[in-house]
């Protein structure tokens, strides 16, 4: 005895409502793509795996729901099990359980795309893509997340809605199969829903979702209890290293990872006001190609979380000079010493902006050492925002050089004995006067810039000191060589100097008034102690700084960067303080509006009141009228939309329809009366009446029938224009509308 | 602590179901996907609150908005929709019956989607596939089909209808009760039984097997023309008015009569009790089809001998509501046939029925 295998409801629905299911597939794939995009661009995950996922995603567009997949379901299930084992073993070996779980999840969602048959499969895929977005929020909180989020918001609305319709249809078919009813009969009654109005409606739904999301985001109280790790992207930055080593790097990469953004609020829309130098670490002793630091005294800044606090070792600045305000958005960076890069000449600093932003920032303490370097005591990686006031034309800050202090002599004057005589000879050739530090420094800087070339390509000096090789043989190198050379030459003349590593230049964005500092902006320069002037900065490197690019592409990139900063400021860094500012702003605006209203003249107040009362009464009237109309509607049903085409002309030529007269019956009666004038109209009306009955009452009627009905009514209307009015008082209809049987 | 572990009692009767809605006018049934969504929202909320990560708040806002919007839209779907049930005159036990349900959307704009309506009945009375309205435009009235299979005979009145939707996202099903009454007469099962027509000697009274003779004098009724009816019996006036040919049916001085007595005992097993009613109904229908005047006698009611569709309805209605409280000694279905002159007739049965043992011929 053969058993008949019934086809799956999902397959039957797919055959009957192909366009809806295809749209569902496209939106689902879009959601998965948006989620993968965030993960791929975070840079945290292996590129090969991400590439595999991207290719699989592309293939699933064509192969999902195909016979190939349904015949080989076992292979895909095997793939899932294999990936579970693979990532499980990796997690066990390297201990990164969450990381491997994320990779597994990204793989599963793509493999499941091939097996997207049932509505539950689609929901699982959407849930996985949502989880991918959550991971992306932590791994890659940049502007690309905003794009992915918006795409997901739009597409997921569609996907969830269509999944619901799909599941409803499958449920209807399954119920029919359970009762032994032909599923085709059920599916014929499931009308198609994808129309222009539907598309507009769903788009409106997405907008509403966006508004609600924004409202929750703005008003949800911000708190961070700090039990869980709050990570960020880890970037190892050489500019903040504890050592500088020459000759070890090969070709130095021009890495475009953003380290920080330095916003100058008073310079929005203007040209770059200065060349920015962000101070990192000072180095003291040079030995065999490496710089190192000594332990130095430091002092803490107490109330830095509440207000701007004066640095313990502030710079010297001319009295007439105006200070410049800057807000620095520091990306999470991995640094063994947690440097806080500040502009050269910083006098005051405040971490108040970060206070409510991160649970860890509240506990961060800020220090400044005698060299003027500023750093914080936390080893965690998190974003910081801090405000500084600095004097561009001041000295670099830090403790003044004290000749009698042996520690200062060690830190700022020590030169390797082997190099000392050669370097002082060179200085003499360049005309540097050891008794005039200002002149000497300027001369050395000028000579280095003019006589030596800049290159990022390092070459290991054969049995020679790298600086010696640079100065006397190769004659080209990068900024560390130039800075090291200048410091050593000055020290050989007995002039106190030090090398500082940090960032210089950056890309100026006129639109939002900020510098974008990248890894490739890492730089080294020299600070020379000039009596009565303090530690003066010199930059002997001939590197070319281009603070503001030009051209259409550059303009476009500036807009993108400005958008990125706004995203960072208003979304990623939105904290309790900003929330309170927002609410205060709303309250203030409301208060201002109230004051302005009170100060207005009586006539205008009266006008406002009149408008308000009109709107209020209008609203009340509309609600009451709506309620009455709804009560009436039980007695006076609204006509089907197509009927409106001929209702007016029938009322004019024949009579109005009785309250409970079936539409079909009404048309047939009109046909009999008006048909005496024109037989063709009679035929059309009869045909239209049966079609109308089918549209109203027959569950098998389709969209095509409605279109046919519309066309028929239009023909009838055109034909009836030439008829004469024939009012009739024919037999009233039966009492109950619902008794009318098609 | 017993109260904490006590399992929630499921509402089984109509009164219990109505009582559920009295506390809250809307009921929510969360599907499995909805539970996962809520778990995800909780997890994300805890993560956001713990870490203070703004993008997690953003995603949390998104998920909360989905829930909120889902609630608002589902309420809109339910609020303006009304339904109306059109059960047939009678339906049979165990048969899947299509019952038209009228849906109407009383709103002034927009559309509603994915509405399901079903009458509120006690548990175990019927298996129902609710009527499903995929889409309605403003002011539109449409009929959709509800499929029902009643499990027991009887007359069931449903004072309320349940309208539910899981629009827009299918995470939660929201329902409300409407004050819509509907009555369902569930007739006994009709087994495929045939009775032989009255024997040849009496066939002078019938033109064809199973049909009534025309040699009587008294006007009885009109019916549709059947092949073989004499042309002189055609009622021309009515035929002109109607769209089909009708004939006069004249009453015989007497017709073969079938008398069925049905006593349903109280057995405690509904299926066994219904078997008596099923056999009685099957025999009554077979007798009417064979051309007999059929009368039914039960301990509570008596249906006078008549023929026709109306008589069939009367008999089935009586059997539908006949209670199972007869004495076991006199339980059973007793059937006897008489010719128009009161002489007993032999009965010949054909067909398949499972409970012939309950039938006695006298």
Q: Considering only the beta carbons, identify the residue of A176, A223, A640 that sits closest to B140.
A: A640
Cβ distance B167 to A127 less than 8 Å, yes or no, reads no
A546 has a pLDDT exceeding 90: no
List CB contacts (< 8 A) between B168 and chain A: 160-161, 164, 205
Contact (CB<8Å) B40/A127:
yes
Give contacts of A358 with chain B, Cβ < 8 Å: 52
Residue B143, classified by CB atoms within 10 Å of its CB into exposed (0-12), middle (13-18) or buried (19+), is: buried
pLDDT (average), residues A683-705? 80
Confidence band (pLDDT; 50, 70, 90) for A5? Answer: low
Residue-wise over A249-283: b if at least 16 C-beta within 10 A, else e? eeebeeeeebbbbbbbeebeeeebebebbbbbbbb
- Closest partner residue to A137 (CB to CB) among B36, B56, B142 is B56
Whether residues B62 and A153 touch (CB distance < 8 A) is answered with yes
For residues A240 and A280, is the Cβ–Cβ distance under 8 A?
A: yes
How is residue A571 annotated by DSSP?
Answer: I
Whether the ω angle into residue B168 lies within 30 degrees of 0, i.e. cis, is: yes
Give the whole-angstrom CA distance, residue B236 versus residue B240.
6
Measured between CA atoms, the residue of chain A closest to residue B166 is: A164
Task: Kindly identify which residue of chain A lies nearest to residue B98, measuring between CA atoms.
Answer: A181
Q: Do B144 and A699 touch (CB under 8 A)?
A: yes
Report the distance separating Cα A177 and Cα B96, nearest Å.
13
CA A690, CA A670: separation in Å to the nearest integer? 13
Structure-block tokens of residue A625:
């009228």
CB pair distance less than 8 Å for B137 and A641: yes
Nearest chain A residue to B172, by CA: A164
Is there a contact between B170 and A153 if contact means CB atoms under 8 Å apart? no
Distance CA B150, CA B96 (A): 8
Question: pLDDT grade, residue A153 (50/70/90)?
Answer: very high
CA of B161, closest CA in chain A: separation in Å?
17
Q: Does B47 touch chain A (CB under 8 A)?
A: yes
DSSP state letters, A7-59: PPHHHHHHHHSHHHHHHHHHHHHHHHHHHHHHHHHHS-S-HHHHHHHHHHHHH
**B348: Cα within 13 Å, side-chain hemisphere:** 5
Whether residue A209 and residue B66 make contact (CB cut-off 8 A), yes or no, is yes
pLDDT at A741: 32
Alpha-carbon dihedral angle through residues A311, A313, A318, A324, given to the nearest 10 degrees: -30
What are the pLDDT digits (tens) for B196-219? Answer: 766 544 444 444 434 444 445 555
Dmax over Cα atoms in chain B, in whole Å?
100
Facing residue for A164 by CB, picked from B51, B144, B166: B166
Closest Cα of chain B to A90: distance in Å? 26
The C-alpha atoms of residue A267 and residue A273 are separated, in whole angstroms, by 7
Long-range pairs of A56-63 with CB within 8 A, sequence gap ≥ 24: A56/A110, A56/A111, A56/A113, A56/A114, A57/A29, A57/A32, A57/A33, A57/A110, A57/A113, A59/A114, A60/A29, A60/A110, A60/A113, A60/A114, A60/A116, A61/A25, A61/A29, A63/A114
CA angle A62, A63, A68 (to 5 degrees): 145
Q: Does B199 touch chain A (CB under 8 A)?
A: no
By mean pLDDT, which of A361-370, A601-610, B91-100, B268-277 is the weakest? A361-370
Give me the mean pLDDT over the A503-524 stretch: 87
Chain A residues closer than 8 Å to B65 by CB? 209, 212-213, 216
Mean residue pLDDT across chain A: 81
- For chain B positions 89-118, those within 8 Å of chain A (CB to CB) are 96, 102, 104, 106, 108, 110-111, 113-114
Secondary structure, 3-state, chain B: CHHHHCCCCCCCCHHHHHHHHHHCCCEEEECHHHHHHHHHHHHHHHHHHHHCCHHHHHHHHHHHHHHHHHHHHHHHHHHCEEEEECCCCCEECCCEEEEEEEEEECCCCCEEEEEEEEECCCCCCEEEECEEEEEEECCCEEEEEEEEEECCCEEEEECCEEEEECCCCCCEEEEEEECCCEEEEEECCCCCEEECCCCHHHHHHCCCCCCCCCCCCEEEEEEECCCCCCHHHECHHHHHHCCCCEEEEEECCCCCEEEEEEECECCCCHHHHHHHHHHHHHHHHHHHHHCCEEEEECCCCEEEEECCHHHHHHHHHHHHHCCCCECCCCCEEEEEEECCCCCECCCCEEECCCCHHHEEEC
Measure CA A147 to chain center. Answer: 5
The H or E element that residue A330 is part of is: strand A324-330
pLDDT band at A249 (very low <50, low <70, confident <90, very high): low
**Contacts A696 to B, Cβ<8 Å:** 141-143
pLDDT in tens, A58-76: 888 888 777 777 777 788 8
Q: Where are the alpha helices (DSSP H) in A384-436?
A: 406-413, 417-429
Cβ count near A410 (within 10 Å): 12
A112 token code pair: 């499941």
Is the CB of A640 inside 8 Å of chain B's CB atoms? yes
**Closest chain A CA to residue B36:** A127
Question: Which chain B residue shows the shortest CA-CA distance from A630?
Answer: B106
* pTM metric for this prediction: 0.70
Taking every pair of Cα atoms in chain A, the longest distance, rounded to a whole number of angstroms, is 126
Q: How many CB atoms lie within 10 A of CB B358?
A: 19
Task: Provide the token pair at A144.
Answer: 């690309």
Taking the Cβ of residue A145 and every Cβ of chain B, the question of whether any pair is shorter than 8 Å is answered with yes
Supply the Cα-derived Rg of chain A in whole angstroms: 39
The ipTM value here is 0.75
Q: How many angstroms separate the Cα of A234 from the Cα of each of A258, A259, A341, A357, B314? A: 11, 10, 17, 19, 86
Range of lowest pLDDT (A234-248, A280-294, B18-32):
A234-248
CA A730/CA A676 separation, integer angstroms: 15
Rounded distance between C-alpha atoms, residue B229 and residue B226, angstroms:
6
DSSP-assigned beta bridge partners for residue A516: A261, A507
Shortest Cα distance from B160 to chain A (angstroms)? 18
A274 Cα to chain B: minimum distance (Å): 33
Cβ separation A164–B170 shorter than 8 A: yes
The string over B174-208, giving b where at least 16 C-beta atoms fall within 10 Å of a residue's C-beta and e elsewhere, is bbbbbebebebbbbbbbbebbbbbbeeebeebbbe
In angstroms, what CA-CA distances link A370 with A204, A312, A534? 60, 9, 13
Contacts of A143 (CB under 8 A, 6+ apart): A560, A563, A564, A567
For A554-599, write each residue's pLDDT tens digit: 888 888 888 888 888 788 877 777 777 778 888 888 888 888 888 8
DSSP state of A532: T
Task: Find tokens 């105006």 and name the residue.
Answer: A322
Q: How far apart are CA A462 and CA A254, in angstroms?
A: 26
A189 neighbourhood in chain B, CB within 8 Å = 134, 144-145
Work out the minimum CA distance from B113 to partner chain A, whole angstroms. Answer: 9
Residues 6+ apart with CB under 8 A from B48: B56, B57, B59, B60
Residue A532 has pLDDT above 80, yes or no: yes
d(CA A529, CA A495): 7
User: Cα separation of A630 and B123, whole Å?
Assistant: 34
Would you place residue A697 in the very low, low, confident or very high pLDDT band (cuts 50, 70, 90)?
A: low
B141 neighbourhood in chain A, CB within 8 Å: 637, 696, 737
| A46 shares contact with chain B (CB less than 8 Å) | no
| DSSP label of A117 | -
Write down the residue that tokens 């569902």 correspond to.
A24
Q: Are B40 and A127 spatial neighbours (Cβ–Cβ below 8 Å)?
A: yes
Token pair listed for A564? 């990125």
Q: What's residue A248's pLDDT?
A: 57
In DSSP notation, A641-700 reads GGGHHHHHHHHHHT-PPPTT--HHHHHHHHHHHHTTT-HHHHHHHHHHHHHHHHHHH-TT
Chain A nearest C-alpha distance from B55 (Å): 6
Nearest CA in chain B to A622: B108
Among the partner-chain residues B57, B69, B132, the one whose CB lies closest to the CB of A220 is: B57
Q: Measured between beta carbons, which residues in chain B are less than 8 angstroms from residue A163?
A: 169-170
* Nearest residue of B to residue A222, measured between CA atoms: B52
Answer whether B295's CB lies under 8 Å from B255's CB: no
The per-residue DSSP string of A620-647 comes to: HHHHHHHHHHHHHHHHSPPPPGGGHHHH
Q: Which ranges of A476-533 does DSSP label H, i.e. alpha helix? A: 479-492
What does the pLDDT profile of chain B (362 residues) look like in tens digits?
Answer: 455 555 556 777 777 787 778 777 888 989 888 998 999 999 999 888 887 788 888 999 999 999 999 999 999 889 888 999 988 888 999 888 889 999 999 887 888 888 999 998 887 888 888 899 888 888 888 888 898 999 888 888 788 899 999 988 988 999 999 888 888 889 999 988 888 766 544 444 444 434 444 445 555 567 788 777 788 888 888 888 887 888 877 655 567 888 999 998 888 788 888 889 999 999 999 888 887 889 999 887 888 888 888 889 889 988 888 888 777 888 888 888 887 777 777 777 777 778 778 888 87
């Amino acid at each position: 005895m053969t058993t008949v295998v019934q086809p799956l409801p999902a397959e039957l629905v797919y055959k009957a409502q192909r366009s809806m299911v295809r749209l569902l597939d496209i939106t689902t794939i879009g959601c998965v793509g948006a989620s993968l995009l965030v993960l791929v661009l975070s840079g945290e995950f292996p590129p090969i795996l991400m590439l595999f996922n991207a290719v699989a995603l592309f293939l699933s567009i064509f192969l999902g729901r195909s016979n190939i997949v349904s015949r080989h379901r076992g292979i895909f299930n095997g793939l899932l099990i294999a990936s579970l084992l693979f990532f499980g073993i990796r997690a066990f070996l390297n201990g990164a359980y969450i990381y491997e779980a994320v990779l597994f999840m990204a793989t599963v969602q793509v493999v499941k795309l091939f097996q997207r048959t049932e509505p539950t499969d689609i929901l699982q895929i959407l849930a996985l893509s949502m989880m991918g977005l959550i991971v992306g929020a932590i791994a890659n909180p940049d502007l690309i997340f905003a794009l992915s989020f918006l795409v997901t918001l739009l597409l997921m609305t569609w996907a969830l809605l269509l999944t619901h319709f799909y599941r409803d249809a499958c449920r209807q078919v399954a119920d029919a199969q359970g009762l032994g009813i032909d599923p085709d009969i059920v599916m014929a009654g499931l009308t198609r829903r994808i129309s222009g109005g539907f598309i507009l409606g769903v788009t409106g739904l997405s907008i509403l979702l966006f508004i609600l999301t924004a409202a929750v985001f703005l008003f949800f109280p911000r708190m961070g209890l700090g039990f869980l790790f709050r990570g960020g992207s880890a970037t190892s930055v050489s500019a903040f290293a504890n050592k500088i080593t020459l000759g070890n790097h090969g070709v130095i990469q021009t890495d475009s990872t953003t380290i920080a953004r330095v916003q100058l609020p008073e310079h929005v829309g203007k040209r770059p006001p200065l060349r920015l130098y962000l101070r990192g670490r000072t180095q003291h002793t040079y030995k065999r190609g490496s710089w190192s630091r000594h332990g130095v005294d430091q002092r803490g800044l107490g109330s830095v979380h509440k207000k701007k606090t004066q640095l313990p070792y502030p710079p010297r600045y001319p009295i007439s000079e105006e200070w410049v305000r800057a807000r620095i958005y520091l990306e999470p960076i991995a640094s063994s010493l947690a440097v806080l890069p500040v502009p050269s000449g910083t006098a005051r600093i405040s971490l108040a902006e970060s206070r409510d932003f991160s649970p860890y920032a509240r506990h961060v303490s800020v220090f400044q050492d005698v060299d003027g370097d500023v750093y914080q005591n936390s080893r965690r990686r998190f974003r910081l925002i801090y405000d500084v006031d600095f004097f561009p034309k001041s000295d670099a800050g830090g403790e003044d050089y004290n000749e009698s202090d042996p520690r200062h002599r060690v830190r700022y004057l020590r030169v390797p004995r082997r190099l000392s005589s050669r370097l002082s000879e060179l200085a003499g050739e360049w005309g540097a006067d050891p008794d005039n530090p200002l002149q000497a420094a300027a001369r050395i800087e000028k000579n280095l810039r003019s006589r030596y070339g800049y290159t990022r390509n390092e070459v290991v000096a054969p049995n020679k000191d790298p600086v010696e090789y640079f100065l006397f043989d190769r004659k080209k190198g990068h900024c560390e060589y130039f800075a090291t050379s200048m410091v050593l030459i000055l020290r050989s003349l007995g002039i106190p100097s030090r090398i500082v590593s940090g960032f210089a230049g950056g890309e100026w964005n006129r639109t939002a008034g900020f510098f974008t500092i990248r890894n490739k902006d890492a730089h080294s320069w020299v600070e020379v102690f000039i009596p009565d002037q303090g530690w003066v900065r010199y930059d002997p490197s001939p590197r070319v700084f281009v603070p503001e690019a030009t051209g259409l592409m550059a303009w476009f990139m500036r807009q993108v960067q400005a958008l990125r900063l706004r995203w960072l400021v208003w979304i990623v860094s939105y904290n309790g303080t900003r929330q309170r500012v927002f609410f205060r702003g709303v309250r203030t605006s409301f208060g201002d509006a109230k004051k302005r209203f009170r100060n207005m003249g009586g006539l205008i107040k009266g006008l406002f009141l009149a408008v308000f009362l009109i709107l209020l009464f209008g609203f009340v009237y509309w609600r009451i009228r709506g309620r009455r109309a709804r009560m009436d509607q039980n007695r006076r049903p609204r006509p089907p939309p197509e009927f409106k085409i001929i209702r007016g002309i029938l009322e004019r030529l024949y009579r109005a329809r009785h309250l409970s007269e079936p539409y079909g019956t009404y048309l047939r009666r009109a046909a009999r009366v008006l048909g005496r004038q024109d037989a063709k109209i009679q035929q059309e009306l009869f045909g239209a009446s049966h079609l109308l009955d089918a549209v109203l009452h027959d569950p098998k009627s389709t969209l095509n029938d409605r279109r046919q009905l519309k066309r028929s009514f239009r023909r009838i209307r055109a034909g009836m224009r030439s008829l004469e009015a024939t009012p009739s008082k024919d037999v009233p209809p039966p009492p109950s509308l619902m008794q009318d049987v098609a | 602590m017993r109260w904490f572990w006590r399992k929630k009692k499921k509402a089984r009767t109509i009164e219990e179901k109505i009582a559920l809605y009295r506390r809250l006018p809307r009921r929510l049934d969360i599907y499995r996907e909805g539970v996962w969504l809520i778990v995800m929202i909780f997890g994300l909320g805890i993560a956001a609150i713990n870490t203070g990560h703004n993008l997690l708040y953003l995603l949390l806002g998104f998920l909360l908005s989905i829930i909120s919007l889902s609630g608002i839209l589902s309420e809109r779907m339910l609020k303006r929709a009304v339904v109306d049930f059109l059960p047939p005159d009678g339906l049979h036990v165990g048969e899947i019956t299509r019952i038209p349900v009228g849906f109407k959307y009383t709103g002034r704009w927009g559309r509603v989607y994915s509405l399901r309506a079903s009458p509120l009945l006690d548990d175990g009375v019927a298996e129902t596939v609710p009527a499903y309205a995929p889409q309605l435009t403003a002011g539109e009235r449409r009929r959709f089909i509800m499929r029902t299979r009643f499990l027991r005979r009887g007359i069931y009145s449903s004072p309320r209808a349940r309208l539910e939707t899981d629009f827009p996202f299918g995470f939660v099903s929201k329902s409300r009760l409407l004050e819509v009454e509907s009555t369902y007469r569930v007739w006994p099962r009709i087994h495929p039984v045939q009775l032989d027509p009255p024997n040849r000697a009496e066939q002078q009274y019938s033109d064809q097997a199973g049909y009534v003779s025309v040699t009587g004098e008294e006007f009885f009724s009109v019916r549709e023309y059947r092949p073989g009816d004499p042309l002189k019996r055609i009622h021309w006036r009515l035929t002109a008015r109607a769209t089909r040919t009708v004939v006069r049916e004249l009453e015989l001085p007497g017709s073969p009569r079938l008398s069925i007595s049905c006593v349903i005992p109280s057995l405690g097993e509904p299926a066994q009790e219904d078997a008596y009613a099923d056999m009685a109904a099957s025999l009554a229908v077979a007798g009417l089809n064979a051309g007999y005047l059929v009368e039914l006698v039960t301990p509570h009611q008596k249906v006078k001998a008549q023929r026709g569709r109306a008589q069939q309805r009367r008999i089935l209605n009586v059997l539908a509501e006949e209670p199972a409280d007869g004495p076991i000694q006199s339980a059973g279905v007793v059937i006897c046939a008489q010719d128009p002159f009161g002489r007993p007739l032999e009965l010949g049965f054909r067909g398949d029925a499972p409970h012939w043992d309950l039938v006695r011929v006298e």
